[in-house]
Amino acid sequence: MSEFWLRWLATLGLIALCALIAWPIAGAVWALLLFSLGLLGQLLFHLRQLQHLNQWLANPQPRAVPEGRGVWEDTFVALYHLARRQSVSQQQLSKALARFQRAGEAMPDGVVMLDAKDQIEWFNPIAAQQFGLNLQTDIGHPITYLLRQSQFNEYLGAHNYGEPLIMKSTRSPDATLAIQLVPFGDELKLLIARDITRFEQVETMRRDFIANVSHELRTPLTVVGGFLESLQDITDLSEKNRAHFFTLMRDQTLRMQRLVEDLLTLSRLESAANPLQEEPVDVPKLIHHVYQEAQGLSHGQHEIRLEIESGVGLLGSESELRSALGNLISNAVRYTPRGGQIVVRWEAVNGEARFSVKDSGIGIEPQHIPRLTERFYRVDHSRSRETGGTGLGLSIVKHVLTRHQSRLEIASQVGKGSTFSAIFPATRLVQTAAVA
């Protein structure tokens, strides 16, 4: 028997004993009345304690547990310890939930928690941006009310969540999302949405790159292969035609060689295993070298003027800078018509150094300028191939300047010419005296 019942029976026995003692003295009626009053007092006492318990249960706070007496003292003490344990557990659960929410909010992917009926229970800020959700109005609504794309509804209803669903964002048509549902618990689900727009762009660039390289190599290979077949089949070919064939094959071979060299250069520039080798570079001397190369490329068809207005040098890679500056000058020669003018200038402006190449060529329409540094991007494909360019020159320039914390500026007017400028920051400048 429990201690509660022992103490209650002891109290009842005490009341009965008092009534028995009073029986011989006051008579049976008074003894019975005394016993009844004792029972009534006990009943009122317990009703009072029950009232305290009922009031506490309406707002069960550990610090507000009523103070019991008699058999109720142990009961209220037990309730106090139980309430304390529940309060500690609730605090731990609240902290765990808060940590979960903070972790979910810090995730770079969108996260939406769905109940057994696919209704929204919670989502993080990234998901709110991706799907246009609102914490104040969308909690408790089915996810299908807010994501009305048929492909998502089919994915949700198929219950086959092994592979993610790739779909366009409803908020931004240019964004691509990879959505995957992860079942957990009692028919609950996590909807995880990852923005893969950049990965899609990289994949598109990879496909375009392979296609462009294949196309660029196919043309010269076809030419060389055709001439070789002709040389093999024609036995009475004149020396003049033979020389012409060999000249064309040599040109196409050099074109492939330049393409491969540019591809290798880009690969080195993009490789994380190829850190920038910094050294003081005598830029005026370097510009004189690339100027002489431009004169050879022009064959006297252009007026090329060199203006060295500063003796300042740069801290960087001489070979990379030579490649970047040489590409800017050679582009100007290739795209400037015969008799045009080209001005190559090196100057210090507002604490920075500027290498610029200004030509009187055909100019570039504004919509093409932002894309000029993309690989194989050409404004005029046929004319670019005629000039011998690989379509990678400005990509190389951009990578070299980025590695030197510098920038490329392009200004152009159709019919009036273009100016390409490489701007180097003050942190890259060294005085002439410090240049080796």
Q: Per-residue pLDDT tens for 406-434?
A: 999 999 988 889 999 999 999 999 875 44
- Tell how far CA 334 is from the center of its chain: 39
Give me the pLDDT at residue 433, please. 45
Rounded to whole angstroms, how far apart are CA atoms 170 and 297? 53
Give me the pLDDT at residue 31, please. 64
Six token digits for residue 348:
């210090």
Give the residue from 371, 306, 295, 390 showing the smallest Cα distance to 343.
306
Rounded to 5 degrees, what are φ and ψ at 230?
Answer: -65, -45
More confident of the two residues 394 and 218? 394
The whole domain housing 176 covers 107-195
Our count of domains for the chain comes to 4
Residue type for position 244? H
Give the residue from 387, 393, 394, 427 showing the smallest Cα distance to 408.
394
Rounded to whole angstroms, how far apart are CA atoms 386 and 375? 18
Is 113 inside any structural domain? Answer: yes
Give me the pLDDT at residue 434, please. 42
Question: Best-predicted range by mean pLDDT among 224-228, 324-328, 371-375, 378-382?
Answer: 324-328
For 139, other C-beta atoms within 10 Å of its C-beta total 13
Do 186 and 223 lie in a common domain? no
Rounded to whole angstroms, how far apart are CA atoms 16 and 62? 37
> Are 397 and 408 a contacting pair, CB within 8 Å?
yes
Do 413 and 303 lie in a common domain? yes
**Above 70 in pLDDT, residue 19?**
no
Is the Cα dihedral 201, 205, 211, 216 positive or negative?
positive
Do 332 and 221 lie in a common domain? no
More confident of the two residues 299 and 78? 299
The residues pairing with 19 across neighbouring beta strands, listed in sequence order, are: none
Do 291 and 251 lie in a common domain? no
Please compute the mean of the pLDDT values over residues 294-311 and round it to a whole number.
90
DSSP H/E element including 266: helix 239-270
Do 427 and 317 lie in a common domain? yes
> Are 140 and 119 a contacting pair, CB within 8 Å?
yes
Give me the pLDDT at residue 35, please. 63
Three-state secondary structure along 84-105? HHHHHHHHHHHHHHHHHHHHHH
Mean predicted lDDT score pLDDT of the chain: 80
Please compute the mean of the pLDDT values over residues 168-186 and round it to a whole number.
83
Do 322 and 297 lie in a common domain? yes
> Are 327 and 422 a contacting pair, CB within 8 Å?
no
Is 157 inside any structural domain? Answer: yes
Domain boundary among 155, 178, 195: 195
Do 323 and 416 lie in a common domain? yes
Give me the pLDDT at residue 153, please. 85
Is 101 inside any structural domain? Answer: no
For 28, other C-beta atoms within 10 Å of its C-beta total 11
379-388 as b/e: b if 16+ CB within 10 A? beeeebbeee
- Least reliable range by pLDDT among 15-24, 46-55, 84-93: 15-24
Q: What is the CATH number of the domain that holds 173?
A: 3.30.450.20
Give me the pLDDT at residue 435, please. 43
- Burial label, 41 (beta-carbon count in 10 A; 0-12, 13-18, 19+): exposed
- Tell how far CA 142 is from the center of its chain: 28
